Amino acid sequence: MTAFEMTDMTVTGYRHPSGVQSSESRRVETVSTNQPDTDVSAERAAVERVRSGLASLAIAFFLIVSVVGVVPGSETSALLDRLFGPTVTTTGLQQNWGVFSPDPMSIEVETHVLVYFEDGSSTRWDSPGGGRFDSSRSERWRKWESRVRRDENARHWTLAAQYVAGQFESAPSPVISVRLVRSWSAVPPAGEPNATRTYNEFHFYEWDPVTNTGVTLTEADQPTDGSNS
């Protein structure tokens, strides 16, 4: 057997007649056996590095938006709002400095609904409040009231009227009209909680359940006798 043939047999796993495998053969077999595991480990490490990098970028992005984006009167915050406003709103990171305003509102505004029935009667519907241990329900309805009355949210007025009408499906007389009403009053000065308050009202939307149509109301559509009916 030539030297070349001996070398080739050793590399491919040739064992010495004595049964002792050469160190070179063991080294070659070990490397070829462990190579696939090494490749898999390297791929996993690369994937983990990419995931960690993306997570770090996401965290840095939201930190910047949360901190810089709420600085009042900042050009940077205005730019971030234009670029990422929808994302910030969706993720719940939107902040409003009005919450911390030292100048509270001087006017209290409420929204209620007037429901008219075929027999000539009417009733007033107010948003339900939460119980003693469920203030979150009251806050959700309070937020609904503050949003639904705005003109920019007119697309929700029909749904609001339909919801309220649905609360009276079992009434003795069918509903023939639903009106959404804004009411407002000046907040009494501090230290005068029992001061007399005068409320003003404006009927801003009417929905007809018979034809399923609604109309925005104007000054000419307001009650002339000063009553709610």
Profile the chain (229 residues) by mean pLDDT over runs of 10 residues: 46 49 50 60 85 88 72 70 75 65 75 96 87 67 88 94 95 96 87 81 96 95 70
Task: Supply the pLDDT for residue 191.
Answer: 78
| d(C-alpha 69, C-alpha 88), whole Å | 9
Residue 202: exposure state from Cβ atoms within 10 A (0-12, 13-18, ≥19):
middle
β-strands 107-117, 200-208: how paired? Answer: unpaired
Task: Supply the pLDDT for residue 69.
Answer: 64
What global pTM score does this model have?
Answer: 0.55
Task: Supply the pLDDT for residue 111.
Answer: 93
| d(C-alpha 63, C-alpha 154), whole Å | 35
Task: Supply the pLDDT for residue 31.
Answer: 47
Task: Supply the pLDDT for residue 96.
Answer: 64
Share of the chain residues as helix, strand and coil, in percent rounded to the nearest 5: 50, 20, 35
Task: Supply the pLDDT for residue 226.
Answer: 53
| d(C-alpha 169, C-alpha 209), whole Å | 11
Task: Supply the pLDDT for residue 8.
Answer: 46
Closest CA to 164 of 192, 197, 203, 125: 125
Task: Supply the pLDDT for residue 4.
Answer: 44
Task: Supply the pLDDT for residue 217.
Answer: 96
| d(C-alpha 125, C-alpha 113), whole Å | 5
| d(C-alpha 23, C-alpha 111), whole Å | 89
